[in-house]
Chains A and B, each alone.
Chain A
Amino acid sequence: NAGVTQTPKFQVLKTGQSMTLQCAQDMNHEYMSWYRQDPGMGLRLIHYSVGAGITDQGEVPNGYNVSRSTTEDFPLRLLSAAPSQTSVYFCASSRTSRYNEQFFGPGTRLTVL
């Protein structure tokens, strides 16, 4: 089992550019989510999905889109990158939405210039 994988590990964007952060899990987990971590802050929920075809917003969804076409993949799209989106992004999954011991990926460090 690879667990939760994220690509890329690092990315530098210019303001206004778009990109997709990839997340995949091979544990057949129903629930997947995206968090961002800013310096000196805890992780904050961006978007989540309780199963394929179902997504919803978390605490800080503005500027991000998600989709869940398969159980395994949960990409996060930045539509028009802004410096405020400079952060470390973590994808997580758990067996079901009620099973809260989430497994986290290694993170993507994003810098927006």
Chain B
Amino acid sequence: DQQVKQNSPSLSVQEGRISILNCDYTNSMFDYFLWYKKYPAEGPTFLISISSIKDKNEDGRFTVFLNKSAKHLSLHIVPSQPGDSAVYFCAATTYSGGGADGLTFGKGTHLIIQP
């Protein structure tokens, strides 16, 4: 049973527009959420995170929103740039888990920025 779901395998957005990537989770014990970006033949790189005590976290062009009641989070990228074309993974964990949980990843969304 998938605990972190990214239901859009791919998303195409025009350069300069907003990209919105969605993620749903089922495990109510998750209290810390992260987004990773991955280029082909490279390891994932950390992008942004949010704790369950917040509903929004912003870092430059990237904003993550968390709706705990809906068990839903989203990553907004504004404005979208060609270098943003990559696979984006949503991940979740229990911050107090001491590492035992590791990160539970979604399957990823391939974002394609069209010129």
Contacts and interface: CB of A to CB of B under 8 A. Distances in A.
B99 A101 contact: no
B102 A104 contact: no
B105 A97 contact: no
Nearest to B5: A42
Interface stretch (A14-22, A43-51, A68-76, A79-87): A43-51
Interface string A94-113: 00011011111111000000
Contact of B42 (A35, A45, A92, A107): A107
> Chain B: interface residue count, which band?
20 to 34
Contacts of B43: 4, 90, 92, 104-107
Nearest to A92: B43
B44 A43 contact: yes
A40 B108 CA distance: 8
Contacts of A104: 36, 43-45
B99 A103 contact: no
Contact of B95 (A50, A58, A98, A107): A98
A27 B106 CA distance: 27
Contacts of B93: 100
A45 B92 CA distance: 12
Interface in B5-59: 9, 32, 34, 36, 41-46, 49
Given A43-B44, A43-B89, A100-B93, A33 B102 contact: yes
Given A42-B105, A45-B103, A102 B41 contact: no
B105 A44 contact: yes
A52 to B, nearest CB: 14
Given A44-B105, A59-B102, A98-B96, 18 more contacts: A33-B102, A35-B102, A35-B105, A42-B91, A42-B105, A42-B107, A43-B44, A43-B89, A48-B99, A48-B100, A92-B43, A98-B95, A98-B99, A100-B49, A100-B103, A103-B46, A104-B43, A106-B43
Interface of A: 4, 31, 33, 35, 40-45, 48, 50, 56, 58-59, 90, 92, 97-98, 100-107
